[in-house]
Amino acid sequence: MADLLDKLIGDESPGRPGLPFTSVVERILQKVIFSEEIILPGRGPCWLWQGRLNKNGYGRSYYVPEKKEVVCHRIMWCEMIGAIPPGKILDHLCKVRRCCSTWHMEPVTHRENTLRGDAILYKKREDYQLSLLLQEPDK
């Protein structure tokens, strides 16, 4: 496992140079499959969580600093990069909810995440607005 970790992400946190990864990261990575099918150019493969999922399909695990279960991609971000900026949430650039690769995430506002994603309410509204534009005017 250590060789694979070194090969994929090095031996120190990219967001906190000089600081080693924690046992939390190693524990998460033990329950991850590195996808050969889902690879973002320049960002590597999805790290697919194989443990429990929440009702929305995101991986979840107990996180000691918060003393509760937290989605795995947030744990990985906080441990590898640092705190999520205030007013931001993590957007999965790969659109795979089980993915916990920090290279596949970007902090964005909730609105931006919703507009980028597959939120049904917004898509239905956009489809409705588009249908209004495409309708032929009354004669």
> What are the C-alpha distances in Å from 8 to residues 4, 44, 113, 137?
6, 9, 27, 57
Residue-wise pLDDT tens digits, 53-102: 999 999 999 887 778 889 999 999 998 899 999 999 999 999 999 999 99
Question: Cα dihedral sign for 89, 95, 97, 103?
Answer: negative
pLDDT band at 19 (very low <50, low <70, confident <90, very high): very low
pLDDT in tens, 108-120: 999 998 888 765 5
The pLDDT of residue 88: 96
Decide yes or no: CATH 1.10.10 for domain 2-134.
no
Percent of the chain topping pLDDT 70: 68
Looking at per-residue pLDDT, the higher value among 56 and 12 belongs to 56
77 neighbors 85 (Cβ within 8 angstroms): no
Q: Which two tokens stand for residue 20?
A: 């080693």
- What pLDDT sits at residue 96? 92
The reported pLDDT for the residue numbered 40 is 87
66, with CB counted inside 10 A (0-12, 13-18, 19+), is: exposed
Contact indicator for 114, 125 with CB cutoff of 8 Å: no
Residue extents of the structural domains in the chain = 2-134
